[in-house]
Amino acid sequence: MTTFKKTALALAITCVSGTAMANPEMEAMKEQLAQLQKQMQQLQKKLDAAEQSAEQQAQQQEEINTRIAQQEQQLEQTVAMEKSAEKEDGIHVGGAVRTNFSHTSYDDDNKNRGGDFDFDIFRLNFSGDIGDVELNAEIRFFDYMTAVKYAYVGYDFAEDWQVQAGITKVPFGNWPYNSHNWFFGTTYYIGLEDDHDMGVLFKRKVADNWQLDLGFFKNDELGGVDGYVDNRSDRYSYDVVGFRNVGDGIYAEPTNPIGEYNTFSGRYAYHLEHEGGKTEIGVSGLAGGLHDGNDRAGDYQAWAVHVNSNIGPWNFQLQHGDYNYDIDNVDRMAVGAYSFYDSIAAEATMTNANIAYSLPVEWGPVTNLQFYNDYGIIYDKSDNSEDTWMNVTGVSVAAGGLFTYFDLVHAKNQPFVGGSIAGDSDETERRFNINIGYYF
């Protein structure tokens, strides 16, 4: 009710009272009008109160919106400060100390002692950002050698792309490893698993369900055939360092040194999401040259198709392919790693099949167990040597900073299990191994 309407009602009541004071009916009407006026006044008070309440509510809502905006601004500032602080933190240092126990079938002295417990490695890891440039490096200290596993700088030059330059990982096969155990898979010992060389790598992150890695590697991590090093076998990952003549010893230092150079490598993977997890299906290939220090000695190439599937707590890995070092009249190559030389066939086929099951637990500091069985075989060798195969059954245990592998290995013609990939043994060897590592 507006003020105009209230005034009109009051005039009407006044006129009625002035002209019909003696009429009882008019008196009754006057009383009704007076009551109506009172009711209208009460209604006006309520409307005024409602309007005031609405204004208060609007003001309160505006204050709430202002506080929310302030909180959002503060949150953005906090995130920006944290990001800035992370960049200001610079390079972080971590590492690990590992020891190893082994009991073998191929070393009588080891069996007589009931196995041996030795120091494995001390390693340091460096990672972080300076500005927009990322640094990652790892150096490993053994009793018998020191080796840089990787050392590279990275830069995100596009939303889904990063470039890495330095000693970086060669993209090939199941990623990051074609295995679950401490010994890796058979592919590691022919230089096709967890290999690192000197070059440039372009990595496309997973987007639209696919990823791509493209690399060009000038030479291996020790500078190639004429790198300035004392021992070309002092390295973490296997590389070809020479070729063998008929009659050369399997473990002899190569008399015909060669080195990998100008290698192109690519890895494509497509990710399928399904009930219970995700499956990666991929293909890899590489090709490069072999140099003897004076001239090009030959070529080499490798390819593989691979599957890595996670279904609930299960992981399944499959990989198949072959490799070929093509040098005229050469059937056997020399490789180097861990401060000793070994031999592999110049050409062979490789197949791996691995399975693992992860089990979260709450046993004091123990938080996870992973049970696994990894099997690999190398066959159809160009040097007509016997097949190489290795089967590792084991469990890894995560407990805070401790990570331990318990592995039971059965193998034939397998490095570190009493043989060589170029060996001709018909004996199946056994090794029980416990590797304990503390990571910081």
Give the tens place of pLDDT for each residue, 288-335: 999 999 999 999 999 999 999 999 999 999 999 999 999 999 999 999
19 band by pLDDT with thresholds 50, 70 and 90: very low
CA 21 from centroid of its chain's CA atoms: 99
pTM: 0.80
SS3 of residue 255 by DSSP: coil
Q: Pick the range with the lowest mean pLDDT from 89-98, 135-144, 162-171, 182-191.
A: 89-98
16 band by pLDDT with thresholds 50, 70 and 90: very low
d(CA 10, CA 17): 11
Rounded mean pLDDT, 206-218? 96
Say if residue 12's pLDDT is above 50.
no
Say if residue 15's pLDDT is above 50.
no
In the DSSP assignment, the letter for residue 21 is S
Which residue from 440, 378, 380 is spatially nearest to 414, judged by alpha carbons?
Answer: 378
Phi, psi of 265 (to 5 degrees): -135, 140
282 Cβ contact list (under 8 Å, min separation 6): 174, 175, 267, 268, 269, 270, 305, 306, 307, 308
Query: Residue written as tokens 């070529």?
Result: 299
Q: Across all residues in the chain, what is the average pLDDT?
A: 89
**Residue type present at position 100:** N
SS3 of residue 208 by DSSP: coil
Give the tens place of pLDDT for each residue, 352-376: 999 999 999 999 999 999 999 999 9
Of the two residues 113 and 44, the one the predictor is more confident about is: 113
38 band by pLDDT with thresholds 50, 70 and 90: confident
The pair of three-digit structure tokens given for residue 297, joined into one six-digit string: 């000695």
For 159-209, strand residue ranges (E) read: 161-169, 196-207
Tell me the sheet residues that pair with 323. Answer: 302, 348
Q: Are residues 190 and 421 in contact, defined by beta-carbon separation less than 8 angstroms? A: yes
Which residue from 130, 137, 126, 133 is spatially nearest to 87, judged by alpha carbons?
Answer: 130
Residue 37: the pLDDT is: 75
Tell me the sheet residues that pair with 100. Answer: 118, 435
Q: Pick the range with the lowest mean pLDDT from 16-20, 211-215, 271-275.
A: 16-20
Query: Residue written as tokens 């809502």?
Result: 61
Rounded mean pLDDT, 220-242? 96
- Judged by phi (left if over 0) then psi (alpha if -120 to 50, else beta), residue 262 lies in left
CA dihedral sign, ordered 11, 16, 22, 24: negative
Question: How many CB atoms lie under 10 A from the CB of residue 136?
Answer: 18
Domain 92-439: which topology?
Porin (2.40.160)
Question: C-alpha distances in angstroms, 439 versus 93, 94, 124, 417?
Answer: 11, 8, 10, 26
Of the two residues 301 and 13, the one the predictor is more confident about is: 301
Tell me the sheet residues that pair with 150. Answer: 138
The domain limits of the chain are: 3-77, 92-439
Q: CA angle, 428 as apex, 427 and 434 as ends, to 5°?
A: 140
ω into 176 cis (within 30 of 0): yes
Give the tens place of pLDDT for each residue, 132-166: 999 999 999 999 999 999 999 999 999 999 999 99
The pair of three-digit structure tokens given for residue 123, joined into one six-digit string: 């390693």
d(CA 214, CA 170): 9
Phi, psi of 220 (to 5 degrees): -75, 180
252 Cβ contact list (under 8 Å, min separation 6): 334, 341
Which residue from 306, 323, 386, 370 is spatially nearest to 189, judged by alpha carbons?
Answer: 323
